[in-house]
Amino acid sequence: MVESLRSKKELVFFLFGAPLSLAVLYARTTASVLRFPSDPGYLYVQNAVDSGVNSLLIGDPYYHLAARLLAWLTSFFPLVTQAVVLATLVHLVWAACATIIARVCWLETRSRAVGAVAGLLLVTAPHASESTLGNVGNVKWPLLTTLLVVCASAVSVQNAKWPTFGLMMFTGFTNPLTFLCLFSLGLLARRRVESRVLALRLSGACLVTLLLQLMKVGFSSASDGHSTKVVKPWEGMGLFWWSGLLGPIFLTFALFLAAVVLRFKKQSLSDFGVTLGATALLVGVVSYQMGGIADRYFVAPMTLATLAVMVAIVSIHLNVALKRFVWAVGVVLLMIPSVKWFSTGWFMTSGPTWAQEISRTRELCINSRIKRVAIAVSPSGSEILKCSQLIDG
C-alpha cells in the first residue's frame, strides 16, 4: 500500500514537472523558436536531407549523435515548419534532462521540493539564454550535465543500471567531455564497495566512447580545443560573462570551506553534494581549456555548482526555521539572474523567421530560373538551398 501510494506521488510529480519544464523553455524562447540559430543554422538538417540516416555519423568534427538524430527527425517534416520542429525536439531533450535531475535529487535528499527546484535549475539556467536554448548544436550540454548528476548519485546508479548505461553511451557519442564522469565514478567505487563492479563497467563504456571520439577528431585536435577561442577577459566584459566564468569557482570553494568548518563541528556534507561541487569545478576548468570564455561552456558548471550548494544546505543539520529561511533566500538569489537573463539573446533572435524566408525564396524560385537561392539565417549568415527543395518542401 505504501509503495503504491509512493508510485502515484512520483507519477503525479513527473506528469507535472516535465510539462512545467517544457513551458518554461517555450516561455524563454518565444522570440527564437521560429528561427534557426546563427550557428549551426540549417546545416545539420541539410546534412540529414542529403545523407539520410548516414548523417548520424557525420563529424562536427566529433560525433554529435543527439544533434544529428534530432536534425534527422526534423528532416521528415515540411520545410516551412522545420525551425519550430527542431527547437521543440531540443526542448524535449532539455525537459527530459530536467526531469531526470529532479528525480535524482529527490532520491538523494528525499525531498520533492528539492527535486522540483533542481530540475528547474537546468531549464532556467541564465547563461543558456545567449546561444544554448533551442539550439541543436548545444544540446550536448544538458545531456552532459544530467549524466554527471546521475554518476554522482550512488542511489541512481545502483537502482537504474541500464538507463544509466544508455545515457552514458548516448551522451558519450554526443559530447567528448563525457569522460569527466570518470571522476564521479571513481569516487563512487571508492566509497561504495557494492557499486565497484558497476562503476567499473560504466567507466569502461565511457572509455569506449572517448576512444571512438578521439579516433574521429584526432588526438591533436582533441587536446587543443577550438582554435579561435577567447581565453582572456576583454575590456568591458559584463556581469553575464564574469558570473559564468567565476561563479562555479566561488560556489565550489564556498562549499569546500563549509565542509571544512563542519568537519570541526563533527558534521559533514552529503557525498552527493561534495561530488557535484568537485565535478562543477572540473567541468569549468576543462571547458575553459577547450573553448575559452563562451556562454555555452557556462551552463554545465554553473548548474552543477548551484545544485551542489543547494544539496549541501539540505544536508546540514540546522534548525528547521533557519533552514527554511536559508532556502527562501537562496531561491530569491537564484531568481535574480534567471529573471534578468530569461529570454533568448540576439544570437538566437537576430535573423528573420524561417517561415518568412521560405515564403520569400520559394516565390523567388518560382518566378525566376535560378536553381539555388540563399536563405538568410542571421544578419551575417545564410544557407544555400536548391529551388527544387524549396518548391517541393
Q: Which grid cell sits at 21?
A: 519544464
pLDDT at site 7 = 61
Element (H, E) at 93: helix 82-109
Element (H, E) at 374: strand 372-378
Higher-pLDDT residue of 238, 319: 238
Per-domain residue ranges of the chain: 2-349, 354-392
Whole-prediction pTM: 0.92
CB 48 within 8 A of CB 55: yes
Query: Given CA atoms 187, 188, 192, 194 in this order, what sign does their dihedral have?
Result: negative
What confidence category does residue 200 fall into, taking pLDDT thresholds of 50, 70 and 90?
A: very high
pLDDT at 308: 94
- Copy the grid coordinates of residue 42: 540549417
What is the pLDDT confidence band of residue 220, given thresholds at 50, 70 and 90? low
- Give the Å distances, CA to CA, from 199 to 27, 65, 123, 195: 39, 24, 29, 6
Spatial CA neighbour of 13 closest among 123, 94, 158, 113: 113
Q: Are 282 and 144 in contact (CB under 8 A)?
A: no
Which pLDDT does position 11 carry in this prediction? 65
DSSP character at residue 51? H
Q: Is the dihedral of CA 239, 241, 247, 249 positive or negative?
A: negative
C-alpha distance from residue 53 to each of 57, 66, 91, 107, 176 (Å): 8, 13, 22, 38, 21
- Lowest-pLDDT range of 114-128, 230-244, 268-282, 313-327: 313-327
Q: Which SS3 state, helix, strand or coil, does residue 381 take?
A: strand
**Predicted local distance difference test score (pLDDT) of residue 13:** 65
HSE-up (13 A, CA, CB side) for residue 295: 22
Instruction: Give percent above pLDDT 70 in the chain.
Output: 93
Peptide bond just before 176 cis, omega within 30 deg: no
What whole-number distance in Å separates Cα of residue 276 and Cα of residue 302? Answer: 11
**pLDDT band with cut points at 50, 70 and 90 for residue 18:** confident
- What average pLDDT score do residues 217-238 get? 75
Tell me the C-alpha distance between 92 and 33, whole Å: 13
Give the DSSP H or E segment for 386.
strand 381-386
pLDDT in tens, 2-17: 444 456 666 666 667 7
